[in-house]
Amino acid sequence: MKFKYMYIDESGDLGFSAGSSKFLVISALVVDDYRALDHIIKNMRRNKFKKELAKMNELKAYKLYDSLRFHMLEKLNLVSGVKIFHIILEKRKVFSNYSKQDKHKLYNYIAGKLAKNILMSDVDVDIKIDKSKGNIFLQKDFNDYFKRMLEENSDGIKCKIEHSYSHSWSGLQFADLIAWCCFQKFENNDPSYLEKLRVEQEFYTVWN
């Protein structure tokens, strides 16, 4: 049986006030070997960007210079077996007050729509998601729903889901960057970052 690693992060927010984002993006980065991502981050810290990253515990896309962002994207292009999935929520299409008020349920619903479009078979998947759901019961709620949606259209898939801090996993730092790049395209009409990626990507919307 094959083994894959999946890293999930989002960009934007789930607020519905005047100052909230217009979009929320959840991105999933799937790779065959997480060590290639570790190698990129380690080289950045030890060599080319040693000075810039000296005081950064983790690489967060919104804090980085474009030179670092573009470097990460170009290096990701060279990693074999990479596939990226995006789900985009346009919040003006959310009419349900229940969905607006229960942000955890709304997030799970969006992530579940993403999971239904990630088709795999005969594979073990190690899934890491940024530890934004601190409550263990909310984490379990997410895990159960996401796993069910992932398995719905896939055959012979086994998955393990872990909520981690992004500084612990290079893959989560890349997922953060990827979600941020996609968010720039939809929120700010700036596709320049996403256009740097030459790996296979799929884009889905929550509602057409």
Range of the domain at 195: 2-205
Identify whether the C-beta of residue 126 lies closer than 8 Å to the C-beta of residue 5: yes
Ranges of the chain with pLDDT below 50: none
pLDDT given at position 49: 94
128 token code pair: 């890491």
pLDDT given at position 26: 97
Cα→Cα distances 21→80, 131, 154, 175, Å: 34, 21, 33, 19
pLDDT given at position 11: 96
Note every long-range contact of 93-102, with CB atoms under 8 Å and residues 24 or more positions apart, other chains counting: 93/206, 93/207, 94/16, 100/16
CATH at 96: 3.30.420.10
pLDDT given at position 175: 97
Q: How many domains would you assign to the chain?
A: 1
pLDDT given at position 134: 63
pLDDT given at position 208: 63
Tens of pLDDT along 55-97?
898 899 999 999 999 999 999 999 999 999 999 999 999 999 9
